Amino acid sequence: MWTLEQRQRLSLENQILIGEGFDQFQVYRDATYDSYSASGYATANSGRRYYLFIPIPTGYPYQRPPLYVTDPNPLLMYDGRAVSSVGVSHYMHTLTPHGTAGWPQICHWRDARWHSGIVLQKVFLKGLLWIEAYEQHLATGRDIADFLRTMAETA
Amino acid sequence: MTTRDPQQQQMIREAMKAIAERKPGRTKLVYDKTKRTIVAVAEGTQAPRALNITADDADMFAVVTLSSQWMRDRWSDIQHGALAVTLSKWDGGDALTQADLGVQPSCDRETGTILLEGQAKEPAAGSIEIVLARGTGPADAATFVAPDGSGYRASCWREADGGREAIDVSFVDVQPELATRRSGILETNILRDRTVLLVGLGTGGAHVAIELAKCGVGHLILIDRDRLSAGNVVRHPGGISQVGRYKVNVLRDLILEKNPEADVSIHPVAVDYNNEDAIRALVARADVVVCGTDNRPSKLLVNKLCVEAGVTAIYGGAFRRAYGGQVLRVRPKQSPCHQCFISAMPAEATDVEVSTESDADAIAYSDRPVAVEPGLSLDVLPIANLVAKLALLELLAGEASSLNILQKDFDAPWYLWLNRPEPGTQYASLPPLSESSDEMTIHRWYGVYLEREPECSVCGDFLAALASHYGVDLASMDDLPAPPRKDS
């Protein structure tokens, strides 16, 4: 199912994570299902930890990988509702939650902006930014969009 | 025509023919005040108040149109007995067109009978009778040339309201007549064997498909998962009667109406990774791929598959509200691919029209909806026209075609078109078209030369460049670890 190019790319992406100081994250291969994922704990400035999880889609890198927060579960907002309850939200920078587990999906790049030149290290970087903005949301009740600007298109 | 008197009808026909040919005839037309209608009288009859009937009035007779090829294929049947033919009845019977001439016949039908002069009408039936008489005069539209080369002149009568009405007959040789307007400009014999895959049949893609069919492209593969909506109709070639049908079905019928011999295959599926293998197989069959989708994932999937297969792809799209548009032609490994284009011109790559609900949904948030934007068909068609022309040039490249004189004009990979100086864009202050000699204006095509991105993640050596950048040896990377256990 996976091409040599994809396998090489994912191995290389693992090296990039390590080389760029993102070694709290790692790319994994599940030999049982011949599936790939990337995950790890992100530690916010507050010291709280959040588990970020990327199931690698079979069309990667041409297909956009989703980025979920799987721990804490559920991830709660300032008002006590689950983040996943807002669905695709501009104000919370979230996309469709995971279909079965209900994990909130962080909006890193939308499908309309994703391209195969983007690497997982940049996806995790956006995840870290979202986590910090989320903590500010918890502290103030303001929307995550108040702390994160929507990125202009860049190559 | 209201008269049922065969003699009067014949006189009117002769008079009308004389008018049409602008020759004196044996009869003329006058207005009979007592009957409150036009009647035919002998030329010498005194008629001081005769109306001036012009040649434009000569089209008052209904016409039956039959396929010559269909007749030739059934000539032996006609020789051995009357032959039934089903006719589409248009405009209250003003036009009666052989129903199987195209794929969109009228719902209103009449049955006709074709027979040789002197032949018994049985067993065929119907209200229309077409009689073929061996002709000796000059051939015209009513002359049928049999397989043995002999000519037969057709007369036609319709039974209605207890009377018989004369109807004109016209024989058409569909394919030769379709080719007449193309020959000398397009090499139909080459295009007949060519295959174009069209991905996305919105306003632009549908127009391209129909234009290519009109040009004689023989094989068209259509992909689009959407159905025609009422909102589409003001832009799309499909009409309000077609609302609810898959666009691929609508386009198949429109194509076959223009090119009955075209081989059209339809695929009402989404252009996404769930259908990657199926789309890859279709790309492999194509000489050229035309991509008219408005979302990036589908364009990048098509780009990837076309680069893999070495098939030229042409991407056309309108900017928001169709203030302009762009066309990108990708010759794999020779010119920039769509991914190279995104890297080189990210703003242009993102400026797309939101013309359908699905386009809007793809970029909307539940708390910030996106509306379908207005955009005029006439602003999309210039873009579609260039896409169709570039597709033809690709199909005819390397062949002895007079159209290839355009190859040097269209040698850039990317083309820009502006319909208006849209406020809020970098084109808001363009000089008026009439005042500009060498400055950029609306309504001109601009070819832009872009370079391939050597480290492109689709058509370049991305992995090697990335490995080099991070000092990683691709050949000696460790195996990836197994995922952590859930309880760890």
Domain range summary for chain B, segments of one domain joined by +: 1-60, 62-172, 181-448
From the list A139, A143, A149, A127, the residue with the least C-alpha distance to A46 is A139
CB count within 10 Å of CB B48 equals 5
What does the alpha-carbon distance between residue A26 and residue A116 come to, in Å, rounded to a whole number?
Answer: 19
The HSE-up count of residue B138 (CA atoms within 13 Å, CB side) is 1
Largest Cα separation within chain B, whole Å, is 114
Q: Is the dihedral of CA B168, B174, B180, B182 positive or negative?
A: positive
CATH superfamily entry for domain B181-448: NAD(P)-binding Rossmann-like Domain (3.40.50.720)
Helices then strands, counting H and E runs in chain B, come out as 14, 18
| Closest approach of A3 to chain B, Cα-based (Å) | 13
Instruction: For domain B62-172, say whether CATH 3.30.250 is its number.
Output: no
pLDDT value, residue B57: 54
| CA distances to B254, B262, B317, B427, B473 from B378, in Å | 19, 27, 13, 19, 54
Asked if the C-beta of B487 comes within 8 angstroms of chain A's C-beta atoms, the answer is: no
What does the alpha-carbon distance between residue A106 and residue B462 come to, in Å, rounded to a whole number?
Answer: 27
Q: Which residues of A touch B (CB under 8 A)?
A: 5, 8-12, 14-16, 19-20, 26-31, 36-37, 39, 57-59, 61-64, 86-91, 110-117, 119, 153-155
What does the alpha-carbon distance between residue B276 and residue B290 come to, in Å, rounded to a whole number?
Answer: 17
pLDDT value, residue B21: 67
Question: Which B positions 292-351 lie with beta carbon below 8 A of chain A?
Answer: 295-297, 300-301, 304, 339, 342-344, 346-347, 349-350
| Closest approach of A45 to chain B, Cα-based (Å) | 23
Q: Which two tokens stand for residue B300?
A: 């990048």
| Closest approach of A62 to chain B, Cα-based (Å) | 7
Do A12 and B466 make contact, defined as CB atoms within 8 angstroms?
A: yes
Q: Which two tokens stand for residue A102?
A: 């209900």
* Interface with chain A: mutation pick from B366, B461, B463, highest number of A CBs within 10 Å: B366
| CA distances to B2, B11, B25, B54, B58 from B51, in Å | 18, 16, 16, 9, 14
- Number of CB pairs, chain A paired with chain B, less than 8 A apart: 120
The HSE-up count of residue B408 (CA atoms within 13 Å, CB side) is 2
Asked if residue A154 has pLDDT above 60, the reply is no
Tens of pLDDT along chain B (488 residues) come to 456 677 877 787 787 777 766 677 778 777 766 666 777 888 777 765 555 555 555 556 789 999 999 999 999 999 988 899 999 999 999 999 999 999 999 999 999 999 999 887 665 567 899 999 997 778 889 999 999 999 999 999 998 777 788 899 999 999 888 888 777 777 778 899 999 999 999 999 999 999 999 999 999 999 999 999 999 999 999 999 999 999 999 999 999 999 999 999 999 999 999 999 999 999 999 999 999 998 899 999 999 999 999 999 999 999 989 999 999 999 999 999 999 999 998 877 777 777 777 777 777 777 777 777 778 999 999 999 999 999 999 999 988 888 899 999 999 999 999 999 999 999 999 999 888 778 899 999 999 999 999 999 999 999 999 999 888 888 878 789 999 986 55
What does the alpha-carbon distance between residue A66 and residue A47 come to, in Å, rounded to a whole number?
Answer: 25
Contacts of A20 in chain B (CB under 8 A): 470
| Closest approach of B282 to chain A, Cα-based (Å) | 18
A62 → closest Cβ in B301, B344, B466: B301
Q: Could you read off the pLDDT of A89-122 as tens digits, one per residue?
A: 999 999 999 999 999 999 999 888 899 999 999 9
What does the alpha-carbon distance between residue B343 and residue B352 come to, in Å, rounded to a whole number?
Answer: 16
> Which SS3 state, helix, strand or coil, does residue B90 take?
strand
Do B364 and A88 make contact, defined as CB atoms within 8 angstroms?
A: yes
What does the alpha-carbon distance between residue A26 and residue A10 come to, in Å, rounded to a whole number?
Answer: 10
> Which SS3 state, helix, strand or coil, does residue A129 take?
helix
Task: Give strand pairing partners of B264.
Answer: B220
Q: Output B100 or A153, whichever has higher pLDDT.
A: B100
| CA distances to A71, A148, B11, B58, B292 from B383, in Å | 49, 37, 54, 41, 10
Residues B28 and B19: beta-carbon distance below 8 Å: no
| Closest approach of B336 to chain A, Cα-based (Å) | 15
Do A31 and B482 make contact, defined as CB atoms within 8 angstroms?
A: yes
Interacting residues of B363 by C-beta distance below 8 A, sequence separation 6+: A110, A112, B354, B370
pLDDT value, residue B341: 95
Query: Cα B319 to chain center, whole Å?
Result: 24
Do A29 and B481 make contact, defined as CB atoms within 8 angstroms?
A: yes
Contacts of A87 in chain B (CB under 8 A): 366
At residue A128 the predicted structure's pLDDT band, cuts being 50, 70 and 90, is very high
pLDDT value, residue B366: 77
A155 → closest Cβ in B342, B366, B367: B342
Residues B341 and B358: beta-carbon distance below 8 Å: no
Q: For chain B, what's the residue count?
A: 488
At residue A83 the predicted structure's pLDDT band, cuts being 50, 70 and 90, is very high
* Interface with chain A: mutation pick from B450, B480, B488, highest number of A CBs within 10 Å: B480
Mean pLDDT of A45-66: 96
pLDDT value, residue B363: 73
**Which letter does DSSP use for residue B479 in this model?**
P
pLDDT value, residue A151: 57
Mean pLDDT of A14-39: 95
CB count within 10 Å of CB A25 equals 24
What does the alpha-carbon distance between residue B431 and residue B435 come to, in Å, rounded to a whole number?
Answer: 7
Do A86 and B463 make contact, defined as CB atoms within 8 angstroms?
A: no
From the list B65, B81, B7, the residue with the least C-alpha distance to B39 is B7
ipTM over 0.90: no
* Domains B62-172 and B181-448 agree in fold: no
pLDDT value, residue A12: 95
Task: Give strand pairing partners of A30.
Answer: A35
Task: Give strand pairing partners of B116.
Answer: B132
Q: Is the pTM of this model over 0.90?
A: no
pLDDT value, residue B34: 65
pLDDT value, residue B50: 54
* Interface with chain B: mutation pick from A6, A81, A153, A154, highest number of B CBs within 10 Å: A153
